[in-house]
Amino acid sequence: MKARDLKDKYIKFFESKGHKEIPSARLVPENDSTTLFISAGMHPLVPYLLGQPHPLGARLVDVQKCVRTGDIEEVGDECHHTFFEMLGNWSLGDYFKKEAIEYSYEFLTKVLNIDNNNLSVTCFAGDDDAPKDTESAEIWERLGIKDIKFLPKKDNWWGPAGTTGPCGPDTEMFYDGLEIWNDVFMQYNKNAKGEYEKLTRPNVDTGMGVERTTAVLSGLNDDYLTDIFQPIIKKIEELSGLSYVETRLITSLQSTHQKSMRIISDHIRSAVFIIADGVEPNNKEAGYVLRRLIRRAIREGKNLGMENNFCKIVAQSVLDNQDNYAGIYPELDLNKNKILEIIENEEIKFRKTLESGLHEINKLIIRNHQVSGSEAFNLYQSYGFPVEMIEEELDKNNLCLDIDEFNKLKTEHAKKSKTLSAGKFKSGLADDSHVVTKYHTATHLLHAALRNILGEQVQQSGSNITSNRLRFDFTYHSALTLDEIKKVEDFVNDNIKKNLPVMCQIMPLEKAKESGALHFFGNKYPSSVSVYSVGNVESWVSKEICTGPHVENTGIMGKFKIIKQESAGSGKRRVYAILE
């Protein structure tokens, strides 16, 4: 089955049941700062699910563009995607469980001709927040479904999409054991206190993933074999000279290639849609997700031996997909050139960064005849260098990497960032911690700048960072002149522009102090400390004992600006600064 047929049939069926088709909302939420992207069909409809009347009435149907980055690491298997299309139908206080389930059943068995015996469903088992959903189960039973299971909240409950909002028990439908559709019965609103308030007017929200369902209905166990991905995969096969083999026939080398092809097609398809909705690669939020998607695709390209720029060509194959996208999403046609240009520029830029990373590796090899696990981790951090590439370089020189040490550092770092990022933007790659990290590195550069411009008697005496600004206290006798402020800003901005790597080295405390790393006098430090240097390890601009985390490269920090200065007590000054 073609994806287009599924979409058309779905819309037509629900139109025949009195639903009005609504266009897909933009991928970037208009009035919701809690998530970076629309992640489900219901997401743009939240105000209506909470009671506002919809201009098109109480029965709606659509194909909604979605992006989920929560399990980006899973992309590469048969069924995970960052971008996907979701079919959905809604009842805004109109029909409820009975009709919703009957419609689902009729669509599956009469329109898609699925045999009753191949269908199974799950329903909510009940807990302290809401009772067992026997009502749904009884409706399914009446329709002749035999395989009905009750599962807890983690399986059969949906929402809210952010931290608050409409939610409720759901019933999921499986074809030959694979989930294809989800009917959510939105009976509750989860409030900021975490309580489930009963909605006076319950709604139905359903969701069917186009990619997954197209594959399942075509008897394929791999979404990438559908007509949605095949034109993209074919392009990658052409560019790499390798072939995408069906999983069951595969050797292990082919399986790595297959994984890379899937990641490239997934990520570039997402990038195309994200750019079409007005996002450009940068280091903030949605722009940062976009940048990471493109960079990850480029790295996977290396696995396939694709050393020349290829992202634009792959993007073109997405834009050319007549069955699914071209002529269907006007934002793609309208922004074609812009999309291709942005993707191409980002690739050129990243390849340059990779080149300098390679240069650093080779310098280490020549100097030390080895790259240690922590040096490899620094390269990974600073240049976004995949560890496999570091290993390859070492291998060329008959050296090997202490992968255990590397992995240990990576896990430690991931833990740290996770703790920091708990909270906002749970569904995205970017989060508050990313902004805070930039400010953190900015304080190091500011410290260096002040010592450079005002003299080495300047000592940091405190700092405080929020996601909006940094505050830095230091020893100095008088207010800074406008000229001094300008010089400090220039110093920081020049070093940001130089796109300097930030390196972390772990060393004994005494060695750190000897090496000139700045530290708080009188602070208690452990016997082994991490030292962050901005610039190259030999010719650094800033070097401090610090626990991090810091940005990988200063280039991503934006523009530094001092917005205020004041006294912080006798012999002490305080400045506030922002990154724009």
Residue 243 to residues 19, 81, 89, 222, 229, Cα–Cα distance (Å): 43, 21, 39, 15, 14
Nearer to ligand SER, 44 or 549 (CB): 44
Category of 571 on φ-ψ map: left (φ > 0), alpha (ψ -120 to 50) or beta: left
Q: Confirm if 230 and 205 have CB atoms less than 8 A apart.
A: no
Nearer to ligand SER, 88 or 386 (CB): 88
Pairing of strands 20-21, 59-67: parallel
Nearer to ligand SER, 159 or 501 (CB): 159
Q: What angle do CA 400, 404, 408 make, to 5 degrees?
A: 135
Q: Where does this chain touch ligand SER (CB under 6 A) — which range of 76-84, 200-208, 371-379, 477-485?
A: 200-208
**Residues in region 40-79 near ligand SER by CB under 6 A:** 40-42
Contact code string over 2-21 relative to ligand SER, x by CB under 6 A: --------------------
Side chain identity, residue 355: E
H or E segment at 182?
strand 178-190
How far is residue 580's CA from residue 366's CA, in Å, rounded to a whole number?
Answer: 39
What does the DSSP assignment read for 475-519? Answer: E-SSPPPHHHHHHHHHHHHHHHHTT-BEEEEEEEHHHHHHTT-B-
Q: How far is the CB of 398 from ligand SER (least distance, A)?
A: 51
Question: Tell me, what DSSP letter sits at residue 556?
Answer: G
Nearer to ligand SER, 92 or 556 (CB): 92
Q: Where does this chain touch ligand SER (CB under 6 A) — which range of 39-47, 436-444, 445-453, 546-554?
A: 39-47
Nearer to ligand SER, 183 or 552 (CB): 183
Q: Confirm if 306 and 239 have CB atoms less than 8 A apart.
A: yes
Nearer to ligand SER, 186 or 500 (CB): 186
H or E segment at 166?
strand 165-175
Q: Where does this chain touch ligand SER (CB under 6 A) — which range of 37-45, 114-122, 384-392, 510-518?
A: 37-45
How far is residue 367's CA from residue 361's CA, in Å, rounded to a whole number?
Answer: 10
Choosing from 165, 202, 207, 373, the residue that interacts with ligand SER (CB under 6 A) is: 207
Instruction: From 273, 384, 294, select the one nearest 347 (Cα to Cα).
Output: 294
> DSSP alpha helices (H): ranges in 127-228?
134-143, 153-156, 210-217
Instruction: From 32, 157, 37, 25, select the one nearest 88 (Cα to Cα).
Output: 25
Choosing from 62, 85, 133, 205, the residue that interacts with ligand SER (CB under 6 A) is: 205
Nearer to ligand SER, 44 or 207 (CB): 207
How far is residue 330's CA from residue 243's CA, in Å, rounded to a whole number?
Answer: 32
Choosing from 158, 310, 329, 383, the residue that interacts with ligand SER (CB under 6 A) is: 158
Residue closest to ligand SER (Cβ): 207
Side chain identity, residue 324: N
Q: Where does this chain touch ligand SER (CB under 6 A) — which range of 38-46, 307-315, 358-366, 420-428?
A: 38-46
Q: How far is the CB of 202 from ligand SER (least distance, A)?
A: 14
Q: Which stretches of 22-69 are assigned E, i.e. beta strand?
A: 59-67
Nearer to ligand SER, 88 or 357 (CB): 88
**Contact between 91 and ligand SER per CB under 6 A:** no
Q: How far is the CB of 159 from ligand SER (least distance, A)?
A: 6
Count of residues in contact with ligand SER, rule CB under 6 A:
10
Q: How far is the CB of 84 from ligand SER (least distance, A)?
A: 10
How far is residue 357's CA from residue 379's CA, in Å, rounded to a whole number?
Answer: 7
**Residues in region 258-297 near ligand SER by CB under 6 A:** none
Q: Where does this chain touch ligand SER (CB under 6 A) — which range of 105-113, 201-209, 312-320, 430-438?
A: 201-209
Strand-pairing partners, residue 173, are: 121, 181
Nearer to ligand SER, 203 or 533 (CB): 203
**Residues in region 165-194 near ligand SER by CB under 6 A:** 182, 184
Q: How far is the CB of 41 from ligand SER (least distance, A)?
A: 5
**Contact between 88 and ligand SER per CB under 6 A:** yes
Pairing of strands 119-124, 83-91: unpaired
Nearer to ligand SER, 38 or 114 (CB): 38
Nearer to ligand SER, 82 or 378 (CB): 82
Q: How far is the CB of 42 from ligand SER (least distance, A)?
A: 4
What secondary structure, in 3-state letters, does 367-417 show?
Answer: HHCCCCHHHHHHHHHHHCCCHHHHHHHHHHCCCCCCHHHHHHHHHHHHHHH
Instruction: From 192, 56, 79, 173, select the one nearest 121 (Cα to Cα).
Output: 173
Q: Where does this chain touch ligand SER (CB under 6 A) — which range of 36-44, 195-203, 397-405, 446-454?
A: 36-44
Nearer to ligand SER, 49 or 531 (CB): 49
Nearer to ligand SER, 92 or 568 (CB): 92
Strands lying side by side in the sheet with 502-508:
502-508, 528-535, 540-545
Question: Which SS3 state, helix, strand or coil, does residue 68 take?
Answer: coil
Nearer to ligand SER, 72 or 448 (CB): 72
Residue 452 to residues 299, 491, 578, Cα–Cα distance (Å): 39, 9, 20
- Interface residues with ligand SER (CB under 6 A) are 40-42, 88, 158, 182, 184, 205-207
